[in-house]
Amino acid sequence: MMGTTLRQVNRLVLQKQHLAEDARIEDIERVTDEIGGLHATGATTPYLSLLARCPDFRKDTLDDALYRRKSLGRMRCMRKTIYVLNRAMMPVAWKATGAMVQKASRRYMEARGTSPQEYEALAQTILDMVRGRGMTATAIKQAVSAQGDVSAVLYLMCDQGLLVRGQPEGGWKDQQYRYASFAEYFPGVDLEQWGEEEATVLLVERYLRAYGPATENDLAWWTGLGKRRVRTALKSLPEPVTQVHITGLKEEYLLLQADEERLQHADPPSDPAVSLLPSLDPYLMGYKDRERYIDQHVYPYVFDRAGNATSTILKDGRVAGVWDFEDQPAPLVKLHLFQRCESYVLDDIYRQAHRLGAFIADRETGVALCEQMVPLPERSAGSFMSPLRGC
């Protein structure tokens, strides 16, 4: 069994996640592929996740990849969550998680009053309507005269690979997507390219490449597939897996053998690595066992009761605080730090906060420190989206 330190592990994962200063690049397709996809439940999260990893990232760079070149696309997959994935990753994620995702969406649709027979007829009508164009859910509802929940039908159609969530009506903050035919939107992408077992092996391998060292719990949680399927897939990986013990932590971690040398030479830089990550960023949502990057006493300030991660400040791979943005009465990035920082680290946090605020508001913004914060589990659902409201 290989032994290592927490600092080396965090340094390696920061490099893999393109959050280390020397690992930040402009190629958003490569970043998306190497971090295992962009969490996309919130409309702005993929943009802000790329902003943290790509030095000169612009909103139209992701728009171009999603809506014009179509090298990336949205798909509900791991943990029944919407991700932005590369074209090559779509068949893997879809086949590995499809049964789980479609079962949940079918149950939801039937609970909303639409029978399987009604679904088949309505799905064909919708496919005919969107052929050669995209339509919003509102436009589709207005065009069809059908009983049942059209939104639930659209969810199942996306999960079955019939539709794709295309360009939204109102820009990067909007989730009123235009639904389009998946086959027309992504010609040449064969969602049946892999069998379920093959796809599961590829998905587990991709996770370890992006997040390892990680525990078996992490793998089962991130994929949503459960420990039995994960254990079976681990036995079929094309390259060996090494067990890693991290000094000071109880769990045993798994690492692809190809990453052993990288881990041994993952020495932290002389200056701390600082990042401002959005809520639900892949780095925070990639693990079930989170002691590697967060102290227990600040956990309630970062994760809500449902396990959603808020917008955070990282220092050397560990959560050092929380940030928020408000645009009234004037654009402002608010910061709440869990510990005192050296002056040069605070300067870096402020610099990145100004950059983040300008990206969100399209103009210069202020930055302010908040001394107090109410723990997320003590607040209403959804408060992780605005963690410093009222401070």
Summarize pLDDT for 239-281 with one digit per residue, the tens.
999 999 999 998 999 999 999 999 988 877 767 889 999 999 9
pLDDT tens-digit map of 199-221? 999 999 999 999 999 999 999 99
Structure token pair of residue 18: 């393109």
Q: If you average pLDDT over residues 49-71, what whole number do you get?
A: 98
Q: What pLDDT is attached to residue 264?
A: 87
* All domains in the chain, ordered by first residue: 2-11+195-264 (1.10.10), 28-185 (no CATH), 294-373 (no CATH)
Res. 318: pLDDT tops 80: yes
Q: What is the DSSP string of 210-269?
A: HH-SB-HHHHHHHHSS-HHHHHHHHHT-SS-EEEEEETT--SEEEEEGGGHHHHHT-PPP
Q: Report how far residue 153's alpha carbon sits from residue 151's, in angstroms, rounded to the nearest whole number.
A: 5
User: What percent of the chain stands above pLDDT 90?
Assistant: 91
pLDDT tens-digit map of 159-194? 999 999 999 989 999 999 999 999 999 999 999 999
Q: Report how far residue 345's alpha carbon sits from residue 41's, in angstroms, rounded to the nearest whole number.
A: 31
DSSP single-letter state for residue 162: S
pLDDT, mean over the chain: 95
- 77 and 87 in contact (C-beta within 8 Å)? no
Res. 147: pLDDT tops 70: no
SS3 322: strand
Q: At what angle do helices 196-211 and 6-16 cross, to 10 degrees?
A: 120
SS3 276: strand
Structure token pair of residue 174: 């909007």
Res. 146: pLDDT tops 70: no
pLDDT tens-digit map of 268-315? 776 788 999 999 999 999 999 999 999 999 999 999 999 999 999 999
**pTM reported for the whole predicted model:** 0.96
Structure token pair of residue 173: 């903050």
